[in-house]
């Protein structure tokens, strides 16, 4: 935290055993002394082991900690009036958002919340509005003062309302709980790139623990959106593009947060939210473009697993519609699927203005009253937005009075809210008692070490030509640092996380790392964007004199130095909520700066700090070393410097795809087979290439300062039924000279299926640390759920057949292959023979029964063909063959042949013409290759027989 931000706070003396309010003592907030322990004295409702919430002098069932929760809920519900029930169904936004007061005032007895309140959101968390500095209210910090203030607010609801129902203090927390100060982690995209379940669990625990110590009882995290369009502004908030990875990390984050029910975890944004057309949002995030099957396979998958395995207590319903139906008013999504199928038992809270959008954006409701009706009937429990709670509660009460909303429905909605409040202990431990502990633990040194680990593990080394990295601190006497993100800290201080912590910038991290006599030359080089941005992404404007002058300063510094570190990327100006882009290029003059520094001929390291993948094609080609840091949190500068100078070996892997251009979008993982086979391969005047193909960097990609070797794959059992798991084992060895982390990735492909399936499905991963020469054996379990597909009848099934197993260092760097077979129950002994498998890869125009013989390794067997007949071989996805080996057994005198390739669509093009030579030995035929899905041998004259064929890219 910057020193000047502390000026508004004063040290607090201990006053144990007492409490007071500003109103009671006529003291300024700074004069109120905060005790070590929050004690409630002289209050008859606080009994030994229970609280007399309704002040009737006896222990009601709902006040009895020993009673079953369901019984407590029903007892309380039976005592509530319509006014009290409807007040539970709304959120009051906190100080300076809607609520004008930081602490209770006498006027509260005349406000709507005199009858209680479902939740108070973001109260005293320091956030004011977008673009404004954090609040300087004296109750936002220190942690003990903040917790004391929330206790005072809670005390109003317990002591001053009829039934004493505690409010749920909700808050954001996707990179640490949103508070003036708390442990500051990388954004969720950065956390995804750690591929570390245990670490994410720790992040979740610290987020929940610090939240509760500060007085919050419900934190809006994790985000379960799956990334699909890299232009989308909120890409910084996803774990990645794989639904499996999102589920795995989402489960751990939620479990960590909800440890001992310290807080409720409310996941967002439900559902099908993250695939807007063209990256456009329009506030309502209208109608994502995808098929029903893709929604189920990609977007529904994480929700089903996180609800079932982590038991999240909250779900935030999203703004968007899908297939013309707003999620907010969909009984199908909020009740049939969420509660009926997924088994959700918490409460649903609306994303901001999702209810209002039914009439103001979607046009599916006539007015606010009808929007309320549709939402409650669909399954909404609590409305949450930056508006007065009256705007929701009053039409809600009218609908009840008119009979449009039956009391049974209201009771169902309130029942869910109360259940969550009981589960998180609001009726047994409504106050944060240990105030001193909040000061000790919130943003503690120990928690900051976890944050630093997360920052380090989120780093991805994209390029390291000629081992430019790591830099030798002993051989660097002068280093040039430039770029708009080099001395920037704002990326760590945006919304949805801690707001005013001390941030170590990259420049500071480098200065702290180098020797005292090393000179660090810094100039900004350029701003993050230019004066014409984002129009400058479409129209090239000349550099101004000021822009050129600043670039020239960076060039001069680079010329004087041993190495230049250029820190580029984005910030909350270019990425974030409502900030989708029309380009993925470096914004503003950043590429001009980079090109000018590279032109000096000095070694250049590019560090990227950004919230989405960028199409850095020029940098990939001409910059020797590139380190992707995402938004690495407040410890980012230290983590990056450790990686640059070799004190840390980066081991993160991409959880997102880097397209070469926005023209390739949608382009993400997982993808359907053969998606990259067309467009040609040969560029230039005489080529056949019509577009660029493939990613700049694929899903799962990431380099290291060391090397790893994979070996000894085994699968047990090799034949299973549809309900049996499969164990895949392999060994990984560090074959380099440095210790390092490797993220071992397991993919599966359903080889033959009734509907098209993805080319590779991630079904396992493990981040391991290996010392030089060390070998570890890994074991992955493939569950039946990992093999399921949604068939033509919309049933989830595991279809019998062969499944290909791939283990690798990325989705494209597959090191090991094997397969197993799924059979119907009772047919466990069945297995596919080598010939039957080969039959799936080879098709002949005649004599199909003998066609597989050309792949049996036996030169005495053969396939015979006459003029015009052919044999076709299926190739692996994205294959680019340039040769084939053929052994001819017999031929006529005039026998000739052609080799043809197909890039899809059934069209075959000739790439080789020749005369048959019957030597019965394999001969290699080379040709100008291209991306192809099939290769064909055609007999164009006479007749011939083929005894054997060898194709490196043959589909296995």
Q: Which positions are catalytic?
A: 351
Joined together, the tokens standing for residue 785 give: 């759920």
Rounded Cα distance, 847 and 850, in Å: 6
- The candidate with the shortest Cα–Cα distance to 937, out of 856, 839, 863, is 863
Rounded Cα distance, 593 and 546, in Å: 13
Rounded Cα distance, 777 and 728, in Å: 10
Cβ 460 vs Cβ 651: under 8 Å: no
Q: Directed axis angle between helix 636-644 and helix 445-457, to 10°?
A: 50
Rounded Cα distance, 284 and 112, in Å: 29
Rounded Cα distance, 813 and 651, in Å: 15
Cβ 99 vs Cβ 387: under 8 Å: no
Rounded Cα distance, 82 and 279, in Å: 43
Partners of 735 in beta bridges: none
What do you get for the CA distance between the two ends of the chain, in Å? 57
If 0-12 CB within 10 Å is exposed, 13-18 middle and 19+ buried, where does residue 413 land? Answer: buried
DSSP summary character for residue 845 = S
Name the 3-class secondary structure at 143. Answer: helix
- The candidate with the shortest Cα–Cα distance to 348, out of 220, 446, 515, 466, is 220
Rounded Cα distance, 751 and 246, in Å: 25
324: left (phi over 0), alpha (psi -120 to 50) or beta: left
Is the dihedral angle over the CA atoms 534, 535, 538, 539 positive or is it negative?
Answer: negative
Q: Given strand 726-734, what is the order of strands in its sheet?
A: 708-716, 726-734, 775-782
Rounded Cα distance, 254 and 836, in Å: 46
Cβ 564 vs Cβ 603: under 8 Å: yes
List strand residue ranges (DSSP E) for 474-576, in order.
Answer: 478-482, 519-523, 563-569
List strand residue ranges (DSSP E) for 700-754, in order.
Answer: 708-716, 719-720, 726-734, 740-750
Residue 351 C-alpha from the chain's centroid: 19
Query: Residue 310 half-sphere exposure, CB side, CA atoms within 13 Å?
Result: 32
Rounded Cα distance, 721 and 3, in Å: 64
Q: What are phi and psi of 809, to 5 degrees?
A: -95, -10
Find where tokens 């193909």 sit: 693
Residue 255 C-alpha from the chain's centroid: 17
Cβ 674 vs Cβ 955: under 8 Å: no
Residue 343 C-alpha from the chain's centroid: 23
58 to 55, 210, 419: CA distances (angstroms): 8, 35, 22
- The candidate with the shortest Cα–Cα distance to 91, out of 383, 529, 393, 433, is 383
Residue 519 C-alpha from the chain's centroid: 39
Cβ 21 vs Cβ 139: under 8 Å: no
Name the 3-class secondary structure at 739. Answer: coil
Partners of 778 in beta bridges: 730
Residue 654 C-alpha from the chain's centroid: 11
List strand residue ranges (DSSP E) for 458-508, in order.
Answer: 460-464, 478-482
For the chain, the helix, strand and coil percentages under 3-state DSSP, each to the nearest 5: 30, 20, 50
């Amino acid at each position: 935290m910057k020193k000047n931000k502390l000026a508004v706070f004063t040290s607090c003396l201990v006053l144990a055993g007492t409490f007071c309010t500003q109103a009671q003592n006529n003291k300024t907030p700074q004069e109120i002394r905060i005790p070590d322990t929050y004690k409630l004295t002289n209050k008859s409702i606080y009994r030994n082991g229970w609280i007399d919430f309704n002040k009737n002098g006896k222990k009601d069932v709902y006040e009895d900690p020993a009673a079953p929760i369901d019984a407590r809920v029903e007892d309380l519900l039976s005592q509530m009036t319509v006014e009290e029930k409807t007040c539970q169904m709304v959120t009051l936004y906190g100080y300076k958002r809607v609520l004008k007061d930081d602490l209770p005032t006498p006027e509260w007895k005349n406000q709507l919340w005199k009858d209680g309140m479902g939740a108070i959101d973001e109260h005293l968390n320091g956030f004011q509005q977008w673009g404004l500095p954090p609040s300087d209210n004296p109750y936002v910090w220190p942690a003990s003062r903040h917790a004391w203030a929330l206790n005072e607010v809670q005390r109003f609801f317990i002591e001053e309302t009829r039934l004493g129902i505690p409010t749920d203090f909700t808050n954001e927390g996707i990179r640490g709980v949103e508070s003036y100060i708390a442990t500051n982690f990388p954004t969720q995209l950065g956390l995804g790139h750690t591929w570390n379940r245990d670490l994410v669990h720790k992040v979740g625990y610290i987020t929940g623990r610090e939240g509760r110590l500060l007085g919050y009882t419900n934190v809006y995290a994790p985000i379960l959106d799956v990334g699909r369009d890299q232009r989308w502004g909120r890409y910084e908030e996803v774990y990645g593009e794989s639904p499996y990875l999102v589920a795995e990390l989402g489960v751990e984050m939620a479990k960590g947060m909800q440890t001992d029910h310290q807080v409720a975890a409310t996941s967002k944004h439900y559902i099908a939210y993250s695939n807007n057309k063209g990256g456009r949002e329009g506030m309502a995030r209208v109608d994502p473009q995808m098929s029903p099957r893709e929604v189920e396979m990609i977007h529904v998958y994480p929700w089903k697993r996180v609800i079932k395995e982590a038991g999240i207590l909250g779900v935030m319903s999203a703004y968007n519609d899908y297939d013309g139906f707003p999620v907010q008013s969909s009984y199908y999504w909020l009740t049939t699927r969420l509660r009926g199928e997924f088994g959700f038992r918490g409460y649903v809270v609306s994303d901001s203005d999702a209810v209002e959008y039914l009439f103001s954006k979607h046009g599916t409701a006539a007015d606010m009253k009808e929007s309320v009706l549709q939402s409650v009937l669909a399954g909404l429990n609590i409305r949450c937005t930056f508006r007065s709670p009256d705007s929701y509660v009053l039409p809600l009460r009218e609908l009840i009075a008119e009979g449009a909303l039956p009391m049974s429905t209201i009771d169902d909605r309130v029942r869910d809210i109360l259940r969550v409040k009981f589960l998180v202990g609001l009726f047994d431990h409504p106050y944060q008692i240990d105030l001193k502990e909040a000061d000790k633990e919130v943003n503690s040194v120990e928690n900051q070490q976890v944050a630093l680990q997360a920052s380090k593990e989120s780093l991805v080394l994209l390029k390291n030509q000629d081992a430019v990295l790591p830099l030798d601190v002993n051989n660097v006497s002068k280093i040039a640092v430039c770029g708009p993100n080099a001395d920037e800290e704002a990326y760590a201080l945006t919304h949805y996380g801690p707001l005013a912590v001390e941030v170590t910038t990259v420049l500071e991290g480098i200065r702290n790392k180098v020797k005292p006599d090393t000179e660090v030359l810094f100039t900004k080089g350029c701003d993050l964007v230019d004066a014409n941005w984002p129009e400058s992404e479409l129209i090239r404007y000349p550099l101004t004199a000021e822009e050129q002058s600043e670039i020239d300063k960076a060039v001069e510094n680079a010329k004087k130095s041993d190495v230049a570190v250029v820190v580029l990327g984005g910030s909350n100006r270019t990425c974030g909520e409502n900030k989708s882009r029309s380009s993925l290029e470096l914004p503003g003059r950043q590429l001009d700066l980079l090109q000018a520094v590279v032109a000096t001929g000095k070694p250049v390291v590019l560090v990227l700090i950004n919230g989405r993948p960028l199409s850095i094609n020029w940098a990939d080609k001409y910059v020797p070393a590139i380190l992707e840091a995402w938004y690495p949190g407040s410890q980012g500068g230290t983590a990056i410097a450790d990686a640059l100078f070799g004190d840390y070996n980066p081991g993160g892997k991409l959880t997102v795809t880097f397209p070469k251009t926005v023209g390739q979008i949608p382009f993400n993982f997982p993808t359907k087979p053969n998606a990259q086979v067309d467009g040609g391969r040969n560029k230039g005047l005489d080529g056949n290439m019509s577009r660029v193909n493939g990613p700049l960097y694929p899903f799962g990609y990431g380099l290291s300062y060391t090397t790893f070797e994979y070996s000894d794959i085994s699968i047990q059992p090799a034949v299973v039924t549809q309900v049996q798991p499969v164990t895949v084992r392999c060994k990984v060895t560090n074959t380099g000279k440095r210790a390092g982390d490797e993220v071992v990735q397991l993919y599966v492909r359903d080889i033959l299926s009734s509907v098209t399936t993805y080319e590779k499905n991630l079904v396992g991963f493990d981040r391991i640390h290996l010392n030089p020469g060390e070998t570890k054996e890994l074991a992955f379990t493939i569950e039946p759920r990992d093999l399921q597909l949604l068939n033509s009848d919309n049933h989830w099934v595991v279809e019998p057949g062969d499944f290909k197993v791939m283990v690798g260092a990325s989705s494209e760097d597959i090191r090991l292959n094997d397969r197993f077979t799924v059979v119907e129950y009772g047919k466990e002994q069945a297995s596919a023979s080598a010939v039957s498998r080969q039959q799936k890869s080879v098709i002949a125009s005649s004599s199909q029964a003998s066609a597989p013989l050309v792949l049996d390794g036996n030169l005495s067997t053969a396939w015979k063909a006459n003029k015009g007949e052919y044999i076709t071989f299926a190739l692996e996805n994205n294959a680019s063959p340039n040769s084939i080996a053929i052994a001819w057994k017999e031929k006529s005198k005039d026998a000739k042949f052609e080799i043809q390739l197909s890039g899809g669509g059934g069209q075959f093009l000739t790439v080789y013409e020749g005369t048959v030579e019957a030597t019965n030995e394999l001969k290699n035929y080379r040709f100008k290759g291209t991306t192809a899905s099939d290769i064909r041998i055609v007999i164009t004259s006479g007749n011939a027989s083929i005894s054997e064929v060898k194709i490196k890219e043959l589909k296995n």
